[in-house]
Structures are given as C-alpha cells and as structure tokens.
Structure 1
C-alpha cells in the first residue's frame, strides 16, 4: 500500500474520530504540511467521501453525513471498546436492544482483521453480565427521548404511574440516565411546572414535537434523580445520621437504595424511603453500614432497629453446624 493511500486512510480515521479538526491539527497528526492535508482532503472528496470545510473560529474539516459515508474504521483497542459496549448493551434492560446488540457484535466480528478479531474474541468470551431482572424499557422510547434531548425539543408521553393510571404528560426532556440497571428521564413537566423523574419502562409511547425547550436554571441532575428514586416515590421518608465518613458509607450504599450526604468530617446523613410503614429493609441497610445510628425521622424507626437487635441477638449455632 502506497504512502499516499496509507495517509488517506489515516486521515479518514482521524475525521471519523472527532467532529472537527483544524488544518494544523491534522498536519501534526499526519506529520505533513497543511498543503498536503488539503490535497489529501481533495483526494477523499474525489473518491466520494463527504469532507466538509468551515471557516472562522471553531471551523475546520469534518466528515459529513451521507449515503456515501464509508464503513467505520477501528483500531484494535477501539474495536475492543465497541465489543464490550455491545455486550453491555445486550444486558441493558432495553427491550429489543439485546438481539440488535448481539447482531451488531456478530457483524463486527465478520469485518475485523484476523489479529484484531482474535483480541476482541478473547475479551468478549471472558465477559459475562449478571444482573437482577428489572422491568424492560423500549429501545424505541430510549432513542426517541435521546434524540429529543439532543435536539432540545419538547415531547408528549403516554405515561403510566405506579398505581396503573395512564395519562399524557407534556415535558421538556433534559437527560436520560441508567441507574442500577433501570432507565430514567429527567425533564421539566410543563403542566406541573416542576422538574420530574420518569421511568422509561412506564412509557408506552413518545411523541416528539417541533417546539424547542425553554432555557431555565437546572439543578444537579444526578443528585436530583437519585433523591427522587430513593425518597420521592415513597409514603414514608427515612432520615438517619451514621457516624462514619461519607466516602465509607457511599461505598456501601447502592445508588437506588438511599442518598448520602456529608454531615461533618466523620458522619453523614442517609435519606431513604419506605412504603406501607414497613421500615425493616431500611433498618437492615442502616445496620449494614457499620456505624452508630442516630434516628432523625420517623421515630418508629428506632423501635424497628431495637427489635432487629433483639431478634439477631437471640441467634444460636445449629446443632449440625460444622
């Protein structure tokens, strides 16, 4: 393969790897002059590849979209990263995406060079994803919402509440998040005039509009979603102080179990929620954190903790234990 052809393929790979490159950046990557870069860009255009040029601040070269766009060029490490991502996508909890991800993985395997294929196979064969069953969200719903977030457009949802009630929600989507295997949307609810967190598995249909979202101050999205998941949807709010540093308690607290904030250097506040007045699972989690517990609310949580202490203190060793 000639140096010109090798350089053209390298230029094509660079253009695929980033949205915009300046002439000096490409010249530095290819170790050639900017004049040579311009000639190579013209060569790619003559071969049917849509290389666009924009002037001014932030301008440069970029690969445009189109039917003549070539297959994606991947190095060995990039191919491994894509394969790992596809394996994770197959276990993502998105209805219909599992089969598509496995088909994409098979297609990737067919087009890779032998040396890269063997490296990818070695990694993917060693991978396994073990996850507890969660309600499946629709891949079509995810794509529609992600597109609306990208384009900054309002959408209408056919949404089902936890009690089974269905209705239309008019929202301005801001972020789609995967939290502990379950998918959520953070959005501004136009009818309630407040930020809301929605579960994708409860969305039956998504109808994008052409109306742009309204710029407005946005809270810390990840913190707000976590607070909504762990406390907002429950009838009883639980708050307790744990006499252990924040970084130690965070490592022991699943994302969807509770929110944890620092309370000085050696303590933190844990917030969680409970339904039907059953505080046992929250109490068991607080005990598992391994620090002195101070109940802030509700007062009956203290009784539950004491009952668990009495119950566990009565444990005995089985007669047939070895």
Structure 2
C-alpha cells in the first residue's frame, strides 16, 4: 500500500462504501498497514465529513453509516460503466419525471469518465436501441411507486383506486407483497381483501394509494416467486382476436383513450392514426371500438364482420336505453 495518506484514505473509503462491517484487523490486512494506521485514516475520513462508526474491543471494527449529505463515491471501472449504462436506460423507464433526472445524472457521470471507459459506454449505447412506447400509457407516478414499495417493506395495508382494462373503476384494499416489472410495465402482486384472493395490478392504472396503518402477516405468493406469478397472470389472458382500425385523430389526441386499450400503432400522421387492437373475442373487440368511437370516428379495416357487430351493439344499447 502507498505511504501517501491521501491514497490510503481513498482506498479505505472504497472498502467502507460497501456499508458492511469491517474488522480492524481485516482492514489492516487488506490495506497492508497496521491497525494503528487504520485508526488514523478513519479519523482523517471523519474530519472530511464521512460518518464512520467504530465498534471497540477485540473484535471491533468500522462501518460507514448514512449521513445527512451524500459524500463523493468511489467506484471501479466496471461499476462506473454499469452506472452510466443504467442511467441511460433509466431515462426510458415508465416512471414519470425519470427521464430528465436520469439524463442530468448521466451527463455528470460521463463527464468524469476517463477516455477508455467513455469509449466502452459509447459502444454499448451505439449497439442497443430501446423501443419507446407510442404513448404515455404505462407511465407510473414516482410518488405512488414510493408508497407501494414502503407498504411492501412494512407489510402495511393500502387502499387505492383502480381502473380495469375495460374501464370500470373500483376501490381496493390489499395486502401488498411485491412489485415486479415486465417490459415497461410495473405490476403489484397483492392479496385483495375484497376478493379474498391473489391479484396483480398494473401501476399505471392505479391512483391515490394510501397506507392505512394496518399491518398484516406476510403470505406466501403462489409458486413462491412474484415475477413468475405476474408472468403467468398476464400470460393467462388470451388475446387472439386482432382488428385493424383507422382513426380520424392524431396519436397525441388519442392518448387518453388508448391508455386503456391493448393496441399497437401501425401508422401515425397528423389527424389520422391506424392501430391494431387485441381482445379475447369479437364482442370485446366491438366494445373497444365503441369506447374509441366516443373520442373520434372509427373505420374498421379488418376483420370482416366487426363493423356489423359494432352496429348490433349500438342498436342493442339504443333499444335498452333509448336514443
């Protein structure tokens, strides 16, 4: 180890930033110094504002605690590249406000990288292209995400408003267990008190989550794995029927209605959009067309028979509720 006190202190800080407990003898061995030198270097870090806690005694040692201010971080080459890449793709995450914050942090990180690491990061960015969502339908409020994550951690009951895929609104009281992601979408795996069963909830369809203060004993998620449970849940809904629609509105004007529709954009232009929608059967396709028609005029391109089904649906509603 270098005799330079600054170099030793930086090496010590790098070890302590793992936030694990380090025995005094273990640190001395890793740094190739005496335990007395370790004590001096720890005191030097404290004078610089790093909150290093000490445990006295034969098996004593040191731990870096969380402080009131974020100190400078020391990272190795691999960690620096991982930070830059992670921030780049956090910028396209489905969390409201994350893009600007991530790009600001990425600019700071990349400006500090040495040339050799900057080339590695640039090569990774150049070879991977994320596919953006055509609308903001999957955006999650960061405040909601924080409430849900804290409730999962503390096993606390939470109430929230939830809008189902067909547009119905309900108020739920659930035992929150785990959060999971699938592509750009976030899901909550929870025990629904009202349904007395496990449910998955899309976070972009969830609003006003509030912790009730009530606690619950954790349950075992079916299969024991939240990610596998979500994969089974979202994969268990067959959507084999597909329809192509021409809409007389631009994509920006359709964002509110399309956020509740399983769809993909075929073509988008000023004042005109072509989409494909998916549903379990022709009846649900017709209901989706009717929902979109409340916002803009719709022309069914395919399949044959869907337009007739929509007309029958309209006629039935007219007879039920009057013109």
- Shared topology, TM-score over 0.5? yes
How many angstroms does 1:274 deviate by? Answer: 6.4
Equivalent positions of 1:303-318 (< 5 A) are: none
* Other-structure match for 1:198: 201
How many angstroms does 1:105 deviate by? Answer: 0.7
* Other-structure match for 1:156: 159
Question: Distance in 1 between the 2:60 and 2:163 partners?
Answer: 45
TM-score, normalization by structure 2: 0.63
Q: Is the 8 A contact 1:50 1:68 kept in 2?
A: no
* Other-structure match for 1:227: 232
Q: Is the 8 A contact 2:19 2:65 kept in 1?
A: no
How many angstroms does 1:202 deviate by? Answer: 0.4
Ranges in structure 2 where 5+ consecutive residues have no aligned partner: 242-277, 284-323
Deviation sequence 1:119-155 (CA, Å, 0-9, x none) = 4445445542124546222233223322332344332
How many angstroms does 1:79 deviate by? Answer: 1.2
How many angstroms does 1:33 deviate by? Answer: 3.9
Q: Is the 8 A contact 2:147 2:211 kept in 1?
A: yes
* Other-structure match for 2:83: 82
How many angstroms does 1:86 deviate by? Answer: 1.1
**Alpha-carbon spacing, 1:11–1:96, altered in 2? closer, same or farther (3 Å):** same
* SS, match of residue 27 in structure 2: helix
* Other-structure match for 2:180: 177
How many angstroms does 1:226 deviate by? Answer: 1.4
* SS, match of residue 159 in structure 2: strand
Number of equivalenced pairs: 241
Moved more, 203-212 or 111-120: 111-120
Say if 2:107 is the partner of 1:102.
Answer: no
Say if 2:8 is the partner of 1:7.
Answer: yes
* Other-structure match for 1:189: 192
* Other-structure match for 1:47: 48
How many angstroms does 1:104 deviate by? Answer: 1.4
Deviation sequence 1:208-251 (CA, Å, 0-9, x none) = 34444423333332222112111158799xxxxxxxxxxxxxxx
How many angstroms does 1:169 deviate by? Answer: 1.8
* Other-structure match for 1:32: 33
* Other-structure match for 2:270: none
* SS, match of residue 135 in structure 1: coil
Question: Distance in 1 between the 2:46 and 2:95 partners?
Answer: 39
Q: Is the 8 A contact 1:90 1:102 kept in 2?
A: yes
Question: Distance in 1 between the 2:162 and 2:62 partners?
Answer: 43
How many angstroms does 1:195 deviate by? Answer: 1.9
**Alpha-carbon spacing, 1:38–1:234, altered in 2? closer, same or farther (3 Å):** farther
Question: Distance in 2 between the 1:233 and 1:155 partners?
Answer: 30
